[in-house]
Amino acid sequence: MQVKKFLIAQTPEELAQWCKDSGFPGFRAKQLQQWIREKMVIEPEKMLNIPALLRQKLREDFYAPSMKIAEKAASSDGVTKLLLELYDGEHIEMAIIPAGDGRVTFCLSTQVGCPVGCRFCASGKNGLKRNLHTGEILEEFLLGCGYLGRRCDNIVFMGIGEGLLNCNELFPALEMLSSQTGFCFAPRRITVSTSGYIPGMQKFADLQKEYTLAVSLHAPDEETRAKIIPDPLRFPIKDILSAVDTYREKAGRMVTLEYTLLAGINDSDAQAEALGRLAFAHHAKVNLIPYNSTGNDFRRPSRERIESFEKHALATGAVVTRRMERGSGKNAACGQLRIKAESEKK
Ligand code: SF4
């Protein structure tokens, strides 16, 4: 399929060049820039001060937009999941997560499916279909803002996909989100999550930007980790932690170690202490995530077990937080809406 360009991903220079090549005066590029970046509108028909001919040309040359909301699922704690249908009929998910203080976080996807295949995760179940384009990543943000009626306060790339396997499309999207000619989003408020894909972590560190990095460690030892993340995209823990050190030094940001708590797999007090010691030694924070079941063999530990784990990790001196238990309703775990849509398609 011939992929058109994405209007939202055009830089000011590219818009100016496109206007010139298409025979429109330079000030039109500035108007387009205002619609897209300031008013957050990409549909040509809504751009009221743009002539019909230019609107028609925009439609011909660009996706504007390329995706639509196919389904919504709200849980009782206020989290809304949106199933998004892409230009080629594929689906991804994004989540809108309110916090008690009124702030809102968008959780965005970076790939259609995921090649890592973490055993507890619905998103990796059927492998990778394709990478998302820069424009699609940005449209998720825009669509979320439209749905919410305002900009979000934080963005986390923790939806479907291993973002650091899609650096070529993700990094320009981060730049567009955070630059002054883009959406002026503070880099510190943007978090990229990785399963520990070291080549991507190194490239991310080389950006030397203050984005936040979250690494899904899920286990303090290789044997346990192998039960959770399969080969070949599982890297040795010591190398991951060395990449964590590099990121902290180059980006000047403390890294978060994400730890999904799975009953009977990685939730013992001894594992909590081992995790705490690793985090402390590498100046990283730990974020505990009690598992949301996706209908497989993995289970969430009991409340008592979670509390004991947290206590033992904290006793090492590490900084430990626990993710609020959110989005635990039907289809709420990451990737489940998409899996449902895919099976209905078949
Ligand atoms: S948890 Fe993340 S990295 Fe692992 S399979 Fe799911 S989407 Fe991919």
pLDDT digits (tens, 9 = 90+) for 260-269: 999 999 999 9
Q: Is 339 in the pocket of ligand 1 (CB under 6 A)?
A: no
Range list of β-strands (E), the chain: 5-6, 62-63, 68-74, 80-85, 91-98, 104-107, 111-113, 128-131, 154-157, 190-194, 212-216, 256-261, 285-290, 319-322
Instruction: Please tell me the class of the 68-345 domain.
Output: alpha beta
**Would you list the domain boundaries of the chain?**
5-63, 68-345
Q: Could you tell me which residue, 125 or 151, shows the higher pLDDT?
A: 151
For the chain, percent of residues with pLDDT exceeding 70: 96
Establish whether residue 200 lines the binding site of ligand 1, counting it when its CB lies within 6 angstroms of any ligand atom: no
In angstroms, what is the span from residue 187 Cα to ligand 1's centroid? 23
The residue to mutate among 119, 195, 258, 261, having the most atoms of ligand 1 within 8 angstroms of its beta carbon, is 195
Ligand 1 center from residue 331 Cα (angstroms)? 16
Q: What is the CATH number of domain 5-63?
A: 1.10.150.530
**What's the residue count for the chain?**
346
With cut-offs at 50, 70 and 90, classify the pLDDT of residue 325: low
What are the tens digits of pLDDT across the range 197-240?
999 999 999 999 999 999 999 999 999 999 999 999 999 999 99
0.85 exceeded by pTM? yes
Domains 5-63 and 68-345 share a fold: no
Q: How confident is the model at residue 324 (pLDDT cuts 50, 70, 90)?
A: low
Q: For the stretch 155-185, what's the b/e string if a residue is b when 16 or more beta carbons lie within 10 angstroms of its beta carbon?
A: bbbbbbbbbbbbbebbbbbbbbbbeeebbeb
Residue 3 has pLDDT above 90, yes or no: no
